């Protein structure tokens, strides 16, 4: 009886860990052509309020981004930051 309880507890713990880990790896995406600065800062790793404001400013002055890599042209955003966030970035309403 105690053995069954232990086995069920361990199995429940394993299932719980699996479910939590799968949620943690799901990346929320952001459209860099339509998102406001607050959303950009929240959803892009390494992008705070100042860099997010620069992204919006760049977009307003130069039009929408045509390629994800173009984001590296924004002041304070480098190629490494773009690469780190590549799977989070969208250019349109379509999902990758």
Q: What is the residue-averaged pLDDT of the chain?
A: 85
Among the residue ranges 2-11, 55-64, 79-88, the one predicted with the least confidence is 2-11
pLDDT of residue 4: 75
Is the confidence at residue 77, as pLDDT, over 70?
yes
Q: Give the pair of three-digit tokens for residue 86.
A: 């590549």
Reduced to 3 states (helix: H, G, I; strand: E, B; else coil), residue 61 is: helix
Structural contact between residues 53 and 60, judged by C-beta atoms closer than 8 angstroms: no
Is the confidence at residue 9, as pLDDT, over 60?
yes
Among 29, 25, 57, residue whose Cα is nearest residue 43? 29
CA–CA separation, 21 and 42 (whole Å): 20
The C-alpha R_g of the chain, in whole angstroms, comes to 20
pLDDT class for 45, splitting at 50, 70, 90? very high
């Amino acid at each position: 009886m105690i053995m069954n309880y232990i086995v069920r507890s361990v199995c429940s713990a394993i299932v719980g860990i699996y479910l939590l880990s799968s949620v943690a790896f799901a990346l929320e995406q952001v459209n860099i052509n339509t998102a406001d600065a607050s959303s950009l800062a929240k959803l892009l790793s390494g992008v705070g309020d100042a860099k997010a404001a620069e992204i919006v400013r760049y977009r307003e002055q130069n039009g929408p981004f045509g390629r994800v890599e173009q984001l590296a042209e924004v002041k304070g955003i480098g190629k490494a930051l773009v690469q780190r966030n590549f799977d989070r970035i969208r250019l349109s309403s379509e999902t990758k």
